[in-house]
Amino acid sequence: MNILITGVAGFIGFHLAKKVLDELPEAMIIGLDNFNNYYDVGLKQSRLNILNEHNNFVFIKGDLSDRQTVDSLFSNHNPNVVVNLAAQAGVRYSITNPQSYINSNLIGFFNILESCRTHMPEHLIYASSSSVYGLNEKIPYSTDDKTDSPVSLYAATKKSNELMAYSYAKLYDIKMTGLRFFTVYGEYGRPDMAYYSFTEKMVNNRPIQLFNNGDMRRDFTYIDDVIKAMVKIIEKGQIRKENGVSHKIYNIGNSKPENLLYFTDTLENALLTEGLISKPAKRDFLPMQQGDVYQTFADVIELEHDYGFKPETPLNEGLLRFAKWYKSYYEL
């Protein structure tokens, strides 16, 4: 089995590639990443160094928005399964740097779809986001809910990906599965995410910023739980269609939203336990930021039914594992 993973040096892409390489030795992973500088490139290189230790891993540096690069990938490696995780991430960054989202999330995804149309892999799995639910007040969020009121360009591009995928599945009968990720966290994570940036500030004795005065709720989902589900989707293939079309979207979250203040206290305790800090951090309470939503809450019944997904990692355990990794990685 040849599996193409785009964004392979990214947070989720790295963990997925490593899990497959460790547990499915018969699989060949072809990884693509453009190594952009949205966050520390050194962290991406560290992830890639681990993957390069495997003989059944091939890395190509390139950009999804380059049509020739994508076509060459498919022609040279003929992937059975494509996992598209490459994207410009971040809600707030999309407010000031919109062009990068168009290039990566729209043009890049179009290039993936076109290559799938030509080469017809067995399955395309692609990343969407809980951000598509916007200001939806109905909870928990179900994939049957309306998602036509995005509050950021990032969310709009992810919703666009879902619509583009559906149309290609309908027109060309390409099997596709979209995954709406809910606040994934863990080791080798993204430094722009709250748990990572909070840790960096606490360790350096700087105040942390709590938006909406700390009154926010997030469905924090530990990376290992996410990856277990993704591997099952790769192994089992597509199980369910959407209105007769070979396209299905799933929520992939913890299905247990936590208050931001509780999250901060739990992270703080993990850092204290590991000796990374010696006292609680100073907290600055700020108003809601543009593009943010108050709450995310995943209904994961379909994913549990079809693939046996069941999140198992409580927040305190996941954050303690992250704190241990952070201490080791930065040699603190």
Determine the pLDDT at residue 288. 86
**Mean pLDDT over residues 288-292, rounded?**
80
- 280: pLDDT strictly greater than 80: yes
Q: What is the pLDDT of residue 213?
A: 86
What CA–CA distances, in Å, run from 44 to 101, 138, 265, 309? 19, 37, 28, 28
**pLDDT digit string, tens, across residues 20-39:** 999 988 999 999 999 999 99
What is the second-level CATH architecture of the domain 2-184+220-255+294-312? 3-Layer(aba) Sandwich (3.40)
What is the reported pLDDT for 290? 79
Residue 266: per-residue pLDDT: 97
Q: Say if residues 114 and 154 touch (Cβ distance below 8 Å).
A: no
pLDDT band at 189 (very low <50, low <70, confident <90, very high): very high
**Residue range 239-266: average pLDDT?**
95
Structure tokens at 331: 């040699």
Average pLDDT, the chain: 95
For residue 215, what pLDDT is reported?
86
Residue 50 pLDDT greater than 90, yes or no: yes
134-173 per-position pLDDT tens digit = 988 888 999 999 999 999 999 999 999 999 999 999 999 9
Catalytic residue among 39, 93, 141, 154: 154
Among 51-55, 91-95, 257-261, 282-286, the least confident range: 91-95
Indicate whether 229 pLDDT > 80: yes
- Say what the pTM is: 0.95
> Can you give the pLDDT at residue 128?
97
What does the angle CA 130 – CA 133 – CA 137 come to, to the nearest 5 degrees? 120
List 242's β-bridge partners, or say none.
245
Q: Which residues contact 201 (CB under 8 A, 6 or more apart)?
A: 207, 208, 281
Question: For residue 145, what pLDDT is reported?
Answer: 94
User: Is residue 154 flagged as an active site residue?
Assistant: yes
